[in-house]
Structure 1
Amino acid sequence: MGHSERPTRVSGNGTFFFLSLSDVQEALKKNVKLDVCYAILVEIASATANDEMKRKALAEALKNHPYAYRMRYVYVMTLIPRLGGSYEIMKEFIDCCVKDTLFNPRFAGLASAIPADKGHVYSYLGKYNEAVTMFTEALSISIWHSTYADRGDAYLHMHDYSNALSDYRLALELSPNNPDYLRRKTYASAIQEAQTHERSRRSNAQHEQATELSLITERKRINQHMEQGNSSMRAGHFEEAVSEFNEVVRLVPYEFLPYYDRATCYIQLQNEEAALQDLLRVIELKPDYMNAHYRITSIYANRGQFDDALISLNRILSMEANNGEALYHRARIFERKGSNVEALQDMQQACDLGYEKACRYYNQVK
């Protein structure tokens, strides 16, 4: 069975930490065995660099759940190097846990945390061969659907679409209908299909020149439809513009821009569902097109689908961790969900990154 996604850290303003701690402590008074409360305490302690509080929370949790996997996993993930720990400290803690594998076999899987984190670091540095090696090592220790997906991403960057698709399929077997994995798989399939089509076209050397002339003619037609669509859109004739973009999509289904322009028209025509489908297609074809992510977020937020809006923003932040605008919008979504600690954390971080709108808002509410 596949495990859940690796947990997100808690952080935020001191006042809100105090309120969060009060809530957790009150919950523990009612039920001292709530391990989720201890996990929150560990996250807060890590975010505030309070090592004593972190160790105490772990000790209390294990006193009530001596062989709980969850607490050990949450704790070990606060020991990664970029949070101030080290792989040596992680290994020392993991080795202590593995001694109790007889009582909970899952403890053996904690060792996968180290190579998995190294894989993330290598991916961030663009060293995808090394990332694949680390993710493979992690999977040999413990099966996580997110690790399959992460290794698939590394393969994708290496243009190894066959292995990327294989990993996305394995991730989906462990986490069926996961929308993020479905989008990644669809994107890899589209690229592979496009390349297969291109190789087939080029293999027919005897018609190469004729094909080239045909493509030039087709590109002229595409440009004409795009120009007419944009002209109609600027004039406010959105239905006419949609017709033009429909023709472009038919001619070049693997180009992202006509889908985005058509989505813009659908929004003006108040057809959010059609706009959403086009925008999802945009990020399948071009995952780093930020405007599409923001518009997807806006549609989900307007519908009250806050979890989906957060997924969209998290995709941006997975590509640009210091994107102040994305942090600002995520803070507003957290606020609408009533997650005030997370909201203030993101708002403060966005302000620290120089996003002025976040600073103005943060100064009003802090």
Structure 2
Amino acid sequence: MGDPQFFDSVAPLSLADIAALTGAELRGPAERLVDGIAPLGQASSRDLAFLDNPAYLDTFKTASAGACLVAPKFAAHAPKDLALLIAPQPYHAFAQVAARMFPAAMRPQPVFGENGIAPGAIIHPNAHLEPDVHIDPGAVIGPGAEIGSGTVICANAVVGPNVRIGRNCAIGPSASIVHSLIGNRVIVHGGCRLGQDGFGFALGPGGHRKVPQVGRVVVQDDVEIGAGTCIDRGANRDTIVGEGTKIDNLVQIGHNVVIGRHCVIVAQTGLSGSSTLDDFVVLGGQVGVVGHVRIGMGAQIAGSSNVREDVPAGARWGGTPAKPYREWFRELTTLKRLAEKPESASHTRKTRAEGGGESND
């Protein structure tokens, strides 16, 4: 549940308010107020919970939450006194309500609550800031940088020369952004590195010659980039992250990579240079993608897989090297059967012939 030490609800919501916000069907007292969120098994009479997974159906049957967002197929299992908000996608509805209750949890927040330039911020006189920009102590804004209204630059972040950051963005503590163009409503969490050199070297027996990286990083609207993620600038063209894409913590994106719209990239994934993800691609945790590979629209790659060739649109692949799910599962099943197979009679006779078995003397 929300801890008021860090995240205090801005105001209670009535069940009528929640129904209006989410479009859910209300079965319960419209005037009842909730001001917190919690898991089903821990929710009190002031908390909103949700049920979207049948694994928690037994907990739902004894829940004592103030109200519960629930899918229609589970509503009949509710305890008699539990107020219900019936929605086709309870988790999506829950996210809407939680965002309304706890807006401060939606993006990195400034150390100093008030808007404006905090003491200790360093802003070059040639930088351009629109009204209602917040710059925290220790942040550095370089010459020619432009930052849109409603954007927060948190403590010790660095915005390099000529960088453009759109409106209503949040740049987390100690992030650095250079050689980059950032759209609107972008969230960059703490410790991210955007726009540094791509890993480009001309290899040779006499040594490795550095290749200048003269492209940019272009991040489109509504992208979220998790803490510690690195996105290299392009070598001779741009590295691009498409609108609505969500990137987890500790992801490495190499130079010239192109990521489409509304992709999901989970932690510790690495995309090698010049690889391409079409729209709505999902990469599980610790996926590796080699350079110059294309993953088609809507494809899904299982965690810990290694992608070494182009993946068709809509495909579901896994394994190392990655391959279609059915083929991957068939290989795993075959290996398991081989591992469980007892020693053959011929192997036993051979062992005895070599002196490893019982003697007939």
**TM-score, normalised relative to structure 2:** 0.27
Bigger strand fraction: 2
Larger radius of gyration: 2
Structure ranking higher in helix proportion? 1
Higher relative contact order (CA 8 A, sep 6+): 1
